[in-house]
């Protein structure tokens, strides 16, 4: 039995081993991914993002506990932590989680730290999600820390994206700056028992009103639409991101959040957006792989010596970077 077959048959040890192979991008991992690919496309991919300090991880834990209590679905968590290697953030996060969710065979948690390039992280996360999908997990939660471009890229992998805020973090500004509101399907104001919750909610609402007509509707349907039209004609094709309050410590609002996620999945299926997002996601993946392959082939064909010589000329300002590229490309074609 191949490792891919073992994973499909529910072998947790094989799953853990394969996840490492995939994260480290070793040839065995890639072979297994090819074998697993026909078994993917069933899981619901749920992205959860937001600034540090919003209580994102405990919110995810509560949501998973809720799922396990109410409908027995199998849930995998991919925690993407772009912390620097020496802080060990990912490991710490894992330990806290383990307290709540360990010992449940229907839950699997995988932490990833940023390694190498940005494209690399998004690609590795996509691959990890595919493994969980093929292994039969019904929901794969992709949790990212922060609000930078890398988190946005990772969140784009998901069918449904939650953006988590909390009162009093200067988060209104953060959300605006990072443009993460544009990717939010559901907005969660966590720690809603804290003062300032109304302000946070109000700021999110006005941002949404601004963002909604030009951004979201346009993106999904290729036509721009006035917000007044949207509000007067509610239609299954239009999803207006709801704003929910939660308190992850006591579980307040978690059931409503789960319900809202289920409604979004239903909307995706009815409107055809599920297929649109699947296609967009696979296209991005294909483009990343093409780029990596092209660069790899180029590196093989151009001798290191040529490359160094040309770089030296650029450093000395004898050759502009554009002329250097032209010269390297011509060398390659000979």
Q: Are strands 160-165 and 75-81 parallel, antiparallel or unpaired?
A: unpaired
Does 33 engage in binding with its own copies (CB under 8 A)? yes
* Cα distance between residue 132 and residue 16, in whole Å: 10
CB of 33 to its own copies, least distance (A): 7
Does 285 engage in binding with its own copies (CB under 8 A)? yes
Mind giving me the DSSP string for 97-143? HHHHHTT-TTEEEEEEE--S-HHHHHHHHHHHHHHHHHTT-SEEEEE
Residue with smaller CB distance to its own copies, 107 or 204? 204
Q: How many residues bind its own copies (CB under 8 A)?
A: 70
CB of 106 to its own copies, least distance (A): 25
List the interface residues with its own copies, window 89-148 (CB under 8 A): 89, 114, 118, 145-148
User: Which residue in 94, 151, 165, 201 binds its own copies (CB under 8 A)?
Assistant: 151
* Cα distance between residue 145 and residue 188, in whole Å: 15
Does 278 engage in binding with its own copies (CB under 8 A)? yes
* Cα distance between residue 123 and residue 290, in whole Å: 12
CB of 53 to its own copies, least distance (A): 5
Does 81 engage in binding with its own copies (CB under 8 A)? yes
Instruction: From 247, 265, 254, 263, select the one nearest 69 (Cα to Cα).
Output: 254
Residue with smaller CB distance to its own copies, 235 or 317? 317
CA dihedral in degrees (244, 248, 254, 258; nearest 10)? Answer: 80
Phi then psi for 311, rounded to 5 degrees? Answer: -60, -40
* Cα distance between residue 160 and residue 173, in whole Å: 23
Does 84 engage in binding with its own copies (CB under 8 A)? yes
User: Which residue in 2, 25, 40, 271 binds its own copies (CB under 8 A)?
Assistant: 40
Q: Which residues would be at the binding site for its own copies (CB under 8 A)?
A: 30, 33-34, 37-38, 40-41, 51-53, 81-84, 86-87, 89, 114, 118, 145-151, 153, 169-170, 173-174, 176-179, 181-182, 210-211, 214-215, 275, 278-279, 282-283, 285-286, 289-291, 293-295, 297-298, 310-311, 314-315, 317-318, 320-325, 328-329
């Amino acid at each position: 039995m191949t490792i891919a077959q073992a994973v499909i048959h529910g072998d947790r040890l094989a799953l853990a081993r394969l996840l490492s192979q995939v994260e480290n991008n070793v040839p065995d991992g890639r072979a297994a991914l090819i074998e697993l690919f026909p078994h993917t496309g069933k899981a619901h991919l749920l992205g959860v993002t937001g600034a540090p300090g919003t209580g994102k991880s405990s919110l995810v834990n509560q949501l998973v506990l809720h799922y396990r209590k109410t409908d027995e679905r199998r849930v995998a968590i991919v925690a993407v932590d772009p912390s620097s290697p020496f802080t060990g953030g990912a490991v710490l996060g894992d330990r806290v989680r383990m307290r709540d969710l360990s010992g449940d065979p229907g839950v699997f948690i995988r932490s990833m730290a940023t390694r190498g390039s940005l494209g690399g992280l998004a690609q590795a996360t996509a691959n990890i999600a595919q493994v969980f999908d093929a292994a039969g997990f019904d929901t794969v939660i992709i949790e990212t820390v922060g609000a930078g471009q890398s988190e946005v890229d990772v969140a784009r992998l998901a069918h449904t994206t939650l953006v988590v805020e909390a009162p009093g973090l200067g988060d209104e500004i953060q959300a605006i700056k990072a443009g993460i509101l544009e990717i939010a399907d559901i907005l969660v104001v966590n720690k809603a028992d804290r003062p300032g919750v109304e302000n946070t909610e109000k700021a999110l609402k006005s941002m949404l009103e601004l963002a909604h007509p030009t951004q979201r509707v346009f993106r999904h349907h290729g036509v721009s639409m006035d917000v007044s039209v949207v509000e007067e004609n509610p239609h299954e094709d239009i999803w207006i991101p709801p704003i929910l309050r939660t308190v992850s410590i006591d579980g307040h609002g978690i059931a409503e959040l789960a319900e809202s996620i289920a409604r979004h999945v239903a909307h995706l299926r009815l409107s055809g957006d599920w297929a649109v997002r699947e296609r967009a996601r696979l296209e991005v993946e294909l483009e990343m792989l093409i780029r990596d392959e092209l660069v790899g082939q180029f590196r093989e064909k151009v001798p290191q010596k040529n490359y160094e010589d040309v770089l030296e000329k650029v450093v000395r300002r004898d050759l502009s970077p554009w002329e250097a590229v032209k010269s390297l490309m011509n060398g390659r074609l000979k």
